[in-house]
Structure 1
Amino acid sequence: MTDYGHDLLFGTFVTPGEKALDLTLTADRAGLDLVTFQDHPYQPAFLDTWTLLSYAAARTERVRLSGNVLNLPLRPPAVLARAAASLDILSGGRLELGLGAGAFGDSIAAMGGRHLTPAQGVDALAEGIGIIRDLWNVDARGRVDHQGTYYTVSGAKRGPRPAHDISIWVGAYKPRMLALTGALGDGWLPTMDYLPHGPASLPDANARIDEAAAGAGRSPAAVRRLMNFMQVGFSPTGRGLLDGPPAQWTDQLADLALTHGISAFIIGGDDHAVAERFAAEVAPAVRDLVKRERG
């Protein structure tokens, strides 16, 4: 059993389409902690995720916002660092930074990005995270210089300082990405539907993250474990993971928190009623149950 002891977060995974703002406002009013948007800049059916994040931040009051996850090959890290810090300042410290190495290489290349192999994508992401953190580190001396294989920054001025310590959450599944998450990330942000064995995949993935964190001189608890759930629904009888009555959702999410260390639960589906019920009935019950079990 693994419980990293993080506070619990509850949020939504919203399709960046025309209904995205209404769904975001519903989450904000309902009291959810987090709204996230997928990022596929090569997909013309979607709104641009960074523009949507900025607009949503201006229209909401308390909910935290993140890409889930931002496509780094099409978002240069130095520019992204300044954009993220700026939006964090303007939103009162409500931005978190979900990052991915970028899938769909042909589509990325069609938009002017580099077509990287999976191994190259991991290395480029590691470089990008370093650049982002260096630019945020306004207390360090000197300008930022990074002469890497994939990114070059020569004498960039640091800043602005984010309003809070922005977390970098990494979308990762395979061993090298899990190791990167443990060594460099503040959080692991996968989707349950894409794990090869569902919840049974979690012990091995956590172990890889923990080992990499320890190897980098970090505590495994420094890495929050988040999870997206795409196929969800409330029904009178239990039919599967997050498909049943609220009491079943509560038991399942509490077990994921206490047994596997998952501390942020993000649901898809783009359904206002499900999001409201998730906030009103499930989130407080899971918090109470986990608090009691933690003692």
Structure 2
Amino acid sequence: MELRIFTEPQQGASYDELLAVARCAEDAGYAAFFRSDHYLKMGDVSGDPGPTDAWTTLAGLARETSRIRLGTLMTAATFRLPGPLAITVAQVDQMSGGRVELGIGTGWYGEEHTAYGIPFPSLGERFDRLEEQLAVITGLWATPPGETFDFAGRYYPVSGSPALPKPVQAPRPPILLGGMGAKRTPRLTARYADEFNLPFASVEDTVAQFGRVRDACAEIGRDPAELRWSNALVLCCGRDDAEVARRAEAIGRDPDELRENGLAGTPGEVIEKIGRYAATGSQRLYLQVLDLADLDHLELVAAEVMPKV
């Protein structure tokens, strides 16, 4: 099981704090540093120092790290036009030497759209727009050098694009899709994704949704083994129960609830639960770290959990 670090900077984090976490994760041996793409804190809206832009952050980290992979869970399709987003991701891929991954979704948090003047259409339209965005982004990246790209979209028509710049990774940076949608999410995953991610889902729900995505792959003749399968879970690990409780209190959660719904407990408990997700076919875990000042948390898991999973 590959372990990756996943952060939620909209809850209040500066770029320097994110850089410290990314460097700690890299030094400790984690495979990737991912961040959410949100512009408003969930809950109390204070959230000093305020949000940081996901792709601006990743561009900085691309130059200040050397090995760890970098990406989003998930970039909101409502935030950016697909052509400029394809350019941005390709440029950050170049800046990182080919270490970028694009997680993208419909966008779901209506309040942040209202707070920053971003249109927020209906869910059906957001899925329509996401599908066109995926077609445009992958089409631009796949266009051979010297040729142009056209797309007759309803929302994002493209004509005569030189489809530049190109990312470093070939054929493209990995694309992640995810969520519990029963119909369109599996279909879009089968057609466009390199990885399918389930955030904060139980083992039972993981089995069911992975099955839907595998069925969608079969419908279009795609081998589901071409996909990577992953989960994201809140992390709360401690050397003993007292340390687990302290870390749970620091993020405003109950230890027992986290043991049930997250990845919580002593290293032995965490290893056991990781095994349950591995049995579903999950190959990667994104460990949602909510207390970004607690770098010992990352180092503990790297030392006591990572070698055994």
TM range (shorter): 0.7 to 0.9
Deviates further, 89-98 or 238-247: 238-247
1:171 aligns with 2:178: yes
CA distance, structure 2, for counterparts of residue 182 and residue 285 of structure 1: 32
Confirm or deny: 8 A CA contact 1:9 1:34 kept in the other structure.
no
Confirm or deny: 8 A CA contact 2:83 2:137 kept in the other structure.
yes
CA distance, structure 1, for counterparts of residue 112 and residue 52 of structure 2: 16
Equivalent residue, structure 2, for 1:264: 284
Confirm or deny: 8 A CA contact 2:207 2:280 kept in the other structure.
yes
1:30 aligns with 2:28: yes
Question: Judging changes above 3 Å, is the alpha-carbon distance between structure 1 residues 140 and 126 closer, same or farther for their aligned structure 2 residues?
Answer: farther
CA distance, structure 1, for counterparts of residue 76 and residue 217 of structure 2: 24
Structure 1, unmatched stretches of 5+, are 1-7, 287-295
1:108 aligns with 2:113: yes
Deviation of residue 149 (structure 1)? 2.1
Confirm or deny: 8 A CA contact 2:146 2:162 kept in the other structure.
no
Question: Judging changes above 3 Å, is the alpha-carbon distance between structure 1 residues 199 and 73 closer, same or farther for their aligned structure 2 residues?
Answer: same
CA displacement, residues 252-291 of structure 1 (integer Å, 9 cap, x when unaligned) = 213312x2111111112233112112222212210xxxxx
Deviation of residue 112 (structure 1)? 4.3
Deviation of residue 110 (structure 1)? 5.2
CA distance, structure 2, for counterparts of residue 248 and residue 190 of structure 1: 21
Deviation of residue 42 (structure 1)? 5.2
CA distance, structure 2, for counterparts of residue 47 and residue 85 of structure 1: 20
Which of the numbers 58, 61, 73 marks the counterpart of 2:66?
Answer: 61
Confirm or deny: 8 A CA contact 2:86 2:137 kept in the other structure.
yes
1:121 aligns with 2:141: no
CA distance, structure 2, for counterparts of residue 242 and residue 113 of structure 1: 34
Alpha-carbon RMSD: 2.1
Equivalent residue, structure 2, for 1:289: none
Equivalent residue, structure 2, for 1:248: 269
Equivalent residue, structure 2, for 1:182: 190
1:81 aligns with 2:89: no
Equivalent residue, structure 2, for 1:12: 5
Which of the numbers 65, 70, 73 marks the counterpart of 2:75?
Answer: 70
Confirm or deny: 8 A CA contact 2:228 2:283 kept in the other structure.
yes
Aligned length: 274
Confirm or deny: 8 A CA contact 1:70 1:99 kept in the other structure.
yes
Confirm or deny: 8 A CA contact 1:72 1:100 kept in the other structure.
yes
Normalising by structure 1, what TM-score? 0.86
CA distance, structure 1, for counterparts of residue 92 and residue 227 of structure 2: 23
> Aligned letter for 1:224?
R
> Aligned letter for 1:178?
P
Which of the numbers 206, 211, 229 marks the counterpart of 1:225?
Answer: 229
Matched-pair identity in %: 28
| 3-state SS, counterpart of residue 10 of structure 1 | strand
> Aligned letter for 1:253?
I
> Aligned letter for 1:203?
V
CA displacement, residues 191-240 of structure 1 (integer Å, 9 cap, x when unaligned) = 12xx3xx2210121011101111112211122211211125222535952
Deviation of residue 153 (structure 1)? 1.4
CA displacement, residues 155-195 of structure 1 (integer Å, 9 cap, x when unaligned) = 11123222113110013221122332233211122312xx3
